[in-house]
Structure 1
């Protein structure tokens, strides 16, 4: 049984917070940029000359394997039975199971120092479980060795903020655990603060800023009806809302909330997930099944890109060529020009069987200059050179179904 936690609604009432509008914010330094003098180093880690990239897969039995993309060796890391979905911050893989979230340390990460990077390799480890009930939403920053990580359990309404610095030492430490009414919510870390959704009628309706001890920041609350989907970009932390997005940035050590509305007159469905290459300002989300929303958090603008066929996932590369990738319902990967919406290239149908069955969920992961796609039913992981006419650069066969996929080391 979970320990009894403070009720966030009561805390907000005691703090006298009310829903307020979002103040505009000038562009700020990257909200999630690490500030430690250690440049991401931890005891036992070796600094590398290039990112130690890998792909982590989880099969239906819960076996976690890590494929080293440099030497193509495979290591079995452990077991996370009952896993239904997985996410990553580039180092840790968070596997959502029946009774909580299992945390896997891949032992690979990149320290983003804005104008340069440091790369590290350490021994992988199974860190343990964060208990909770119902589907979990995990929100991370751009740092795997500092700050916090948010975990929200929809079934119980528990909002948990983990100490990421402690995780880098092999420990799972909760900065706070608060009770809210059950809903599809989230805890989104930013600097030494966290954004936590507040429900109304069982649906997330607003977002409040809390400090790392779980105490509300007076006056720091904003409307965000049907809040769904979150990502941290080079600019700040983003939460999707029914009418656009809420962007949180750090300005003079405080959190400022800014609304980025959808264009006037739009009839396209809102994005409920936001995905993109790590550390870039632009992210993408589905606008129904035949269009893509692009959110440029630096320019505070949305762009709608129609697609000529049904799609099931979209992600932004945000490179000089403005590539956007989409996974079509027929199993093809599409490479789209993010400025014009033009289809630049496409693969053959790679994961049609997986999309047509319940073998697992194909996931398209964007990096530079490659993308990765798992085919659970096909028992393969594809590496795609999207800048070279969507060429399949490598195909990795797997001993079991790679039901879930995450890239680590970036």
Structure 2
């Protein structure tokens, strides 16, 4: 375990401003807000006895909204381009990274807390006209009650309260910050109003900095070459993937978790608030155009140690998830859902879900994808245009055919 220096390099200068997106003409973001409120709210929402959560799935030319329990298609929205999905953070909306920014999809199903219970509502899904403007929309990170949007094209970070999306007639107020250099990065809001942001430019990414609520740098690490992706583990720990391991942020301090290989890239991560161990992919060939790894990394954030687990099969960046008790889940190209004990690294169970498949050469091309919601692991199968729901505990599987070939899948959070 290596504890990193509190200070290093030139301090990051960040320009911060609070924008009222509801006020006409105040920001670039609000220029894309809807002018027709009737198209931006779920019509005729009704209270129902139990929660009826929904999923969003992209296909070439649109987005499907699917009911989780019955696996029925609730609605189908046409939308051109290669679209990506992220939970907005309010348990209702999904943000679609598309041309012009992050467009708001209302899944039309949500729960409102009321003391010791909740009230559940459903209505018609809506692909709203609300778009958070971005030149090149990147990572979306809900954390500490707010959601951060990263624009890779400009280095701008927009932070908003996802609860404000419920009004749906205008975009929420934005707290926006501009990093010195645009890059493919990520920002994680902190409970005290501060923020963790990646360091980099168009050529290179080197580490992570902690900013206070005013955008002033407090500390940084530049020991995370090629920094990519983030996740949150137990006790509020935040982890970032590097080309030589992982950087862990705990209690104001950065710590490096090294790997045994000179190049050991952990570029995609899956964390769980029920586990101090982070699941990550693991690649060792810096020159490969397409590496098909067969090992995954389990990073213990308490000790900054890395355990490598050999699956005996390859997987992709859409194969990682966490189970209801923090189990590490990996969807292999052998068609199995591999269930791993995160503490011991033992593969405790393999659930056969799909026929064996091969990762496509292009990363944008459809391939089986994993999305875990509570006790259920949802798996897409582009080969058969199917969606599977796997009970992680019992292994029971439900399935349904889809009207289009699925690509990305997301729930709400």
The reply to whether TM is greater than 0.5 is: yes
The alpha-carbon deviation at position 185 of structure 1 amounts to 0.9
SS in 2 for 1:167: helix
- 1:64-103 alignment to 2 at 5 Å? 64-76=63-75, 78-88=77-87, 89=89, 90-103=91-104
The alpha-carbon deviation at position 395 of structure 1 amounts to 0.7
For residues 117 and 228 of structure 1, the distance between their equivalents in structure 2, rounded to whole angstroms, comes to: 38
Gaps of 5+ in 2: 1-8, 16-43, 284-292
Q: Which residue in the other structure is 2:289 paired with?
A: none
The alpha-carbon deviation at position 405 of structure 1 amounts to 0.8
Of 259, 281, 284, the match for 1:286:
281
SS in 2 for 1:184: coil
For residues 218 and 366 of structure 1, the distance between their equivalents in structure 2, rounded to whole angstroms, comes to: 35
For residues 105 and 328 of structure 1, the distance between their equivalents in structure 2, rounded to whole angstroms, comes to: 32
Native 8 Å contact 1:85 1:404 kept in 2 = yes
Question: What count of residue pairs does the alignment treat as equivalent?
Answer: 355
Q: Which residue in the other structure is 1:141 paired with?
A: 143
For residues 111 and 297 of structure 2, the distance between their equivalents in structure 1, rounded to whole angstroms, comes to: 28
For residues 329 and 394 of structure 1, the distance between their equivalents in structure 2, rounded to whole angstroms, comes to: 20
| TM score, norm. by length of structure 2 | 0.72
Deviation digits for residues 236-288 of structure 1 (CA, Å, limit 9, x no counterpart): 23322334433445x6xxxx23314125x455722101124576544311112
Native 8 Å contact 2:57 2:65 kept in 1 = yes
Q: Which residue in the other structure is 2:157 paired with?
A: 159
What RMSD over aligned residues (CA atoms) do the two structures have, in Å?
3.7
Native 8 Å contact 2:239 2:246 kept in 1 = yes
SS in 2 for 1:275: strand
Gaps of 5+ in 1: 1-8, 16-43
Q: Which residue in the other structure is 1:370 paired with?
A: 376
Q: Which residue in the other structure is 2:188 paired with?
A: 188
The alpha-carbon deviation at position 222 of structure 1 amounts to 2.9
For residues 374 and 141 of structure 2, the distance between their equivalents in structure 1, rounded to whole angstroms, comes to: 22
The alpha-carbon deviation at position 120 of structure 1 amounts to 4.5
1:232 and 2:228 are equivalent in the alignment = no
Please say which of residues 229-238 and 275-284 is displaced more in the overlay: 275-284
For residues 350 and 117 of structure 1, the distance between their equivalents in structure 2, rounded to whole angstroms, comes to: 42
1:258 and 2:254 are equivalent in the alignment = yes
> After the TM superposition, which segments of 4 or more aligned residues of structure 1 sit over 6 Å from their partners?
44-49, 110-113
For residues 262 and 140 of structure 1, the distance between their equivalents in structure 2, rounded to whole angstroms, comes to: 27
| TM score, norm. by length of structure 1 | 0.73
SS in 1 for 2:165: helix
